[in-house]
């Protein structure tokens, strides 16, 4: 096998792995794609995670999300803060839930 054939085989295998992981429900990834569309950024669920490591369940590792967001034109950082302490200028934010789902927090009302 030539180097070109080998590279093609590896690329084909990587695409197959991406296709397999695209069927996995990744709540944080879905929220990130939803927000990207709201900001008129061209991101789709399959291509968004290409090149990022996945865990045993096929989800992008949590540590990779700030880099993933940056790759697609957004700013992101993980923070552990009470929702009531978040300033409005950081909204919307993605809230990962303990069961693998996620939610988008768009506003906070104190009252």
pLDDT above 80: residue 39: yes
pLDDT above 90: residue 5: no
Eight-class DSSP state of 60: B
pLDDT above 90: residue 62: no
What's the pLDDT score for residue 83? 84
**Pick from 36, 65, 35: nearest CA to 53:** 65
Eight-class DSSP state of 59: P
Interacting residues of 58 by C-beta distance below 8 A, sequence separation 6+: 20, 21, 23, 24, 26
* φ/ψ (deg, to 5) at 67: -70, -40
Tell me the pLDDT band of 23, cut-offs 50, 70 and 90: low
What's the pLDDT score for residue 34? 92
The pTM is what? Answer: 0.70
Please state, as a whole number, how many other Cβ atoms lie within 10 Å of the Cβ of residue 35. 20
Tell me the pLDDT band of 104, cut-offs 50, 70 and 90: very high
């Amino acid at each position: 096998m030539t180097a070109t054939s080998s590279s093609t085989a590896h690329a084909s295998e990587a695409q197959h792995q991406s296709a397999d992981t695209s069927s996995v429900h990744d709540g944080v990834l879905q929220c990130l794609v939803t927000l990207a569309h709201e900001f008129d950024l061209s991101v789709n669920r399959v291509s968004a995670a290409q090149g990022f490591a996945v865990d045993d369940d096929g989800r992008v590792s949590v540590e990779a999300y700030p880099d993933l967001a940056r790759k697609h034109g957004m700013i992101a950082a993980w923070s552990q803060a009470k929702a009531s302490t978040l300033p409005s200028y950081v909204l919307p934010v993605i809230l990962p839930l303990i069961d693998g789902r996620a939610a988008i927090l768009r506003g906070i009302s104190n009252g």
